[in-house]
Chains A and B, each alone.
Chain A
Amino acid sequence: MLPIGHYLFLSAALFIIGVIGVITRRNVIVILMSIELILNAVNINLVAFSRLYGDVAGQVFALFIIADAAAEAAVGLGIIIAFFRNRETVLADEMDLLKW
């Protein structure tokens, strides 16, 4: 295993790219994909520390995060489909029903 700093750096880079994606993109589907990327970056940290300490708990937590990501994707995409059926758009800045 390489020094833990390598993994932390990779994870931080993926996290920042994901945050930039969430802020700059207009398409809600791509925003959801960026959130998946962020969750994935967190998983790298958990698994790296699990390896460092020789404790498997980090991998179990990464499993739970993957399950959460699946649930989030299912519900989020369901909301997107329902919204697209009503408003014919998937762009975040056109979702302004509650704004007046």
Chain B
Amino acid sequence: MLDKVLFYIFAGLAIASAALMVTRRNAVHSAIFLVTALLATAGIFLQLRAEFLFIVQIILYVGGIMVLFIFVIMLVNLDVALQQIQFARQKWVALIVALALSAQFGLMLWSSGKTPGQGIPVLAAPSASELPANSEAVAQSLFGTYLLAFEIASVLLLVAMIGAVVMAKKER
């Protein structure tokens, strides 16, 4: 019961703030609503008993990436940007793409009820008390099975760091 209430609160918050993020004219307002959407997603992660990912989402996404975004928004000239039209003249393209995607997802969700064994799995999830300690399990998997991927990800972050510095450096 509590699970259900929490899910609907966080899901509603996520979808509402995502919609507001896309429709606000001011880029700073968009950034604030994206923060709300990401926090609501973190709540969904907690509701799914992924405690480690919940903390990572808040510290890294909300604390790190969004600060970077707001920093850049402040750095570029906001007053000039606000005067201009903020939406491209592609409303029809957006509508068609959104309808096509909705039809696809809707068909997937609808057809899974029709044909057992296909589409969405209907098996029951293990109860929360059966799960191992989350951070421990993630660490075991990350530094065991996925050690090579982990090292590659750290190299990727190093490359991104150097790339960002080179891009943003002043030409001399």
A residues neighboring B (CB under 8 Å): 1-10, 12-21, 23-27, 29-30, 32-34, 36-37, 40, 43-44, 47-48, 50-54, 56-57, 59-60, 62-64, 66-75, 77-82, 84-85, 88, 90-93
Q: Would A74 and B68 count as touching, CB distance under 8 A?
A: yes
| B68 CB, min distance to chain A CBs, angstroms | 6
Complex Cα–Cα for A58 and B139 (A): 13
Ordered by A's residue number, 22 sampled pairs between the chains whose C-beta atoms are within 8 Å are A8-B108, A12-B109, A19-B101, A20-B97, A23-B97, A24-B94, A26-B85, A30-B30, A33-B69, A36-B65, A43-B53, A52-B121, A52-B125, A56-B134, A59-B50, A59-B52, A60-B146, A66-B60, A67-B153, A74-B68, A81-B75, A81-B168
Q: Would A2 and B87 count as touching, CB distance under 8 A?
A: no
Q: A24-B94, A60-B141, A91-B84 are in contact. Are A70 and B157 (CB under 8 A)?
A: yes
Besides the contacts A1-B3, A1-B125, A10-B14, what 4 more A-B pairs have beta carbons closer than 8 Å? A16-B98, A21-B21, A34-B22, A67-B153
Of A5, A37, A82, the contact of B112 (CB 8 Å cutoff): A5
Q: A8-B120, A63-B142 are in contact. Are A77 and B164 (CB under 8 A)?
A: yes
| A92 CB, min distance to chain B CBs, angstroms | 7
Q: Would A77 and B68 count as touching, CB distance under 8 A?
A: yes
Within 8 A of A (CB), among B78-109: 80-81, 84-88, 90-91, 93-94, 97-98, 101-102, 105, 108-109
B residues neighboring A (CB under 8 Å): 3-4, 7, 11, 14-15, 18-19, 21-22, 27, 30-31, 34, 37-38, 41, 44-45, 48-50, 52-53, 56-57, 60-61, 64-65, 68-69, 72-73, 75-77, 80-81, 84-88, 90-91, 93-94, 97-98, 101-102, 105, 108-109, 112, 120-123, 125-126, 128, 130-131, 134, 137-138, 140-142, 145-146, 149, 153, 156-157, 159-161, 163-168, 170
B125 CB contacts on chain A under 8 angstroms:
1, 51-54
B131 CB contacts on chain A under 8 angstroms:
54
Which residue in chain A gives the minimum CB-CB distance to B85?
A: A26
Complex Cα–Cα for A34 and B19 (A): 10
